Amino acid sequence: DLVTVSLLDALAMENFGLLVFRQKYLLVNERTPIRLKQRIARLICHEIGHQWFGNLVSIQWWKYLWLKEGFARFLEYALVTSFYPHWNYWTHFSYDIYARAMEMDEESYTHPVECQVTNATEIQTIFDSISYGKGASIFRMLIHFIGQDVMWRGLAHFIRSHAYGAARTEDLWASFSHV
């Protein structure tokens, strides 16, 4: 279910079976600008992605944040493109996601896509373009490297194998190898 919440700190938040959004990011009409409609479509797809990567299969530890956020960011573009092919939405990925992630990756304060998190105070520092954008870029590269069929079957195997549990990056690679 999708619900609007008037006082929500985040733009949206996934809960198992319930996605909550700020009103601005869920309620649209014919006068809503196309860029806002696109952002809303992306946001809904992102939160739906967390139903699989985040809720159904959780990450074993924050070290693997890129799995859940990178997949959800990748899914934004994959699903929006599928639902609205006339938007040519993949053309935005290189600039909006990949380039920004690479810019941050050049900085001295950057971190690997999978990094050690030893205490709770470090968690917020990795919710950034590396975890989201570089993570999504890895999924984007994978779909071109192993092919769409293997990618989607591997993701399905990963989700079935780890449903209602926690997983690591190694588990995802094992699922791709399996299929």
Residues with catalytic function? 47
DSSP 8-state code for residue 31: T
DSSP H or E run through 18? strand 18-21
> And the tokens for 161?
């194998």
Residue in this structure with the two tokens 């990949």, named with its chain if needed: 98
Cα–Cα distance for residue pair 63/170, rounded to 1 Å: 12
Residue 123: φ, ψ to 5°: -60, -50
Amino acid at 142: L
Residue closest to 117 by CA, chosen among 60, 72, 73: 60
